Structure 1
Amino acid sequence: MSLETNINAEIKTAMLGKKEADLRALRAIKAAILVAKTAEGASGELTEADEQKLLQKLAKQRKDSLEIFRTQNREDLAAKEEEELAVIERFLPKQLTEEELKKEVAAIIASVGASSPADMGKVMGAATKQLAGKADGKAISAVVKELLK
């Protein structure tokens, strides 16, 4: 079942259950899918990889907004972003824990043959491709920096 079909079914369920937070997040996902499908140069259909990238982008936007709202002591807005993020994350693959991420990055460093911080670009290139959808780019970068000291 495609993401769009899944989202439409979830929207109906959220409407029937009067779940406002779920509905907000699901409508945002649906809008992003429609924008991506109708963008100039788009084929009209999204691949599974495109869908994952789209969901990751939406999750990252929510995380960034959440961070900003927390620094500005706007807990009311932060709560809304948190609710939407939880809904978006239901459709993303399970994220790696910090220990799993360290293990994966260590293996990538060994396979690339990196030994110093100067090799960070090579490692990041391989890591972002291999760990796409499983970990946030910021988290990958932090682990790579830590392991290449």
Structure 2
Amino acid sequence: MLQQKIDQEIKAAMLSKNEARLRGLRAIKAAILLAKSEKGASENLTEETEIKVLQKLAKQRRESGDIYQAQNREDLYKIEMEELEVIEEFLPRQLSREEIAVYIKEVIERTGAASVKDMGKVMGAANKELAGKADGKTISELVKQLLS
């Protein structure tokens, strides 16, 4: 599914000589091939697994970008952000902080959570429902905030 789309995009990027896009697409292709070759993985990855792979790549680019920015390496920061932009094209639309908070409030009501002690119960349900649409760090921050 995703691999065929990436292959087509790589060909288009090669023809248009778009180096930044090509780098990002090749990173995605490499990560997908690595995920397929892992022990216990099937030949065809599920959409959920593909999203996890893309999220991992995006997170790596963000973290590297932060480090490069802190070290005043704008040249390397720019490369990471270009690749991140390409990776994010293939991820589902990310929810805003407010949208995530609304989801979490619903989960808290459903699970009957009352204090921070119930955070695990809420986090489990929230992570499952918001998979691919929000990062775990933001979910965790909001759950903690809303249960306090």
Q: TM-score range by the shorter chain?
A: over 0.9
**C-alpha separation between the residues in 2 aligned to 1:72 and 1:144?**
32
Specify the alignment match of 1:34 in structure 2.
33
Aligned residues: 148
Q: Which amino acid aligns with 2:62?
A: K
Specify the alignment match of 2:116 in structure 1.
117
TM-score (norm 1): 0.96
Specify the alignment match of 1:48 in structure 2.
47
Report the identity percentage: 61
Aligned pairs for 1:1-149 within 5 A: 2-149=1-148
Query: Which string of whole-angstrom CA distances, capped at 9 and with x for unpartnered residues, describes residues 69-91 of structure 1?
Result: 12222111111111100000000
Q: Which runs of 5+ in 1 are unaligned?
A: none
Query: Which string of whole-angstrom CA distances, capped at 9 and with x for unpartnered residues, describes residues 27-51 of structure 1?
Result: 0110111111122222221111111
Query: Which string of whole-angstrom CA distances, capped at 9 and with x for unpartnered residues, describes residues 1-30 of structure 1?
Result: x10000000001111111111000100110
**C-alpha separation between the residues in 1 aligned to 2:139 and 2:72?**
28
After TM superposition, where is structure 1 displaced by more than 4 Å over at least 4 residues in a row?
none
Q: Which runs of 5+ in 2 are unaligned?
A: none
